[in-house]
A and B are shown apart, each in its own frame.
Chain A
Amino acid sequence: MPVSIRIPTVLRPQTGGAASVSYDGSTIGEVLNALVADHPGLAGQVFSGDGQLHKFVNIYVNDDDVRYTGGLDTPVKDQDEVSILPAVAGGAN
């Protein structure tokens, strides 16, 4: 079942400029792997070398950060909204 994924501006060059794309899957891992299969340039932005979520990216299914709902095994269903958001941090130090 299709799940829509909101793409942040920094990653849109990898999706041909698309702000939103849709993929099928029953878990967030399946959906993200389908996304990366179509847009290989996203692989290093979304996943770390060991296949886990990159630490500088936050993935939401609707309002929930998937790090607290089962990680890549988090279930998704039709009409869910996935958001990929870069971590925003810095400081004077």
Chain B
Amino acid sequence: MLLRAVDHPSSSQSRDRFKSHRIADGRYAEGVLTLSTELQLELIAHCIRSLPEEGCGLLIGEYETGLVARVAPAENVAHSAMIYTVDPKAFLAADREASKDGLDVIGVFHSHTHTEAFPSPTDVAQAPDPGWHYVLVSLRDTHPVLRSYRIANGTITEEPVRPG
């Protein structure tokens, strides 16, 4: 049942709703996040372990293609059920590790413990990079729900999540 919930965003029915997403200057890849089922479960597990606080972490992979190679769970130094702040030291470590392999930090994930998997006004206002992927995990219901978005210039665009 958990896997079915994880796979929700890439079901054929929902995929039809997505259109390729490209920023005007063409610098960004099409709006698809490639995130293996194993990595989806890893980041969801981190979010569950972080309850009752929001869980968070970074996505390491290929900036141009949206392929996630690994996830880097991080401490939520806000220690809150309502907001998150990725431990800056964890970001530094993830960035260094990524650069060794020619990769980058290409996005962030965090959980919403009591609301849906959709970016909040806070998420939009504080989104650090229009080229990043913003993965939301909702733990509101019995089954976790994972979805991914691009956030550029205050505009939210959902993107499909492909297991690979």
Contacts and interface: CB of A to CB of B under 8 A. Distances in A.
A76 to B, nearest CB: 16
Contact of B127 (A60, A65, A90, A92): A90
Given A6-B95, A19-B99, A87 B110 contact: no
A85 interface: yes
Contacts of B132: 9-10
B83 A93 contact: yes
B93 to A, nearest CB: 9
Interface residues of B, number: 41
A43 B80 CA distance: 32
* Interface residues on chain A, size class: 20 to 34
Interface stretch (B42-50, B113-121, B154-162): B113-121
9 contacts: A10-B131, A19-B104, A86-B128, A87-B128, A88-B56, A88-B85, A90-B120, A92-B115, A93-B83
Interface of B: 25, 27, 54, 56, 58, 63, 78, 80-86, 88-89, 91-92, 95-96, 99, 104-106, 108, 110, 112-115, 119-120, 122-123, 126-132
Interface of A: 6, 8-10, 13, 19, 56, 58, 60, 63, 65, 83, 85-93
Given A88-B91, A90-B127, A91-B120, 13 more contacts: A9-B63, A9-B106, A19-B99, A65-B88, A83-B96, A86-B128, A87-B126, A87-B128, A91-B54, A91-B80, A91-B83, A92-B54, A92-B112
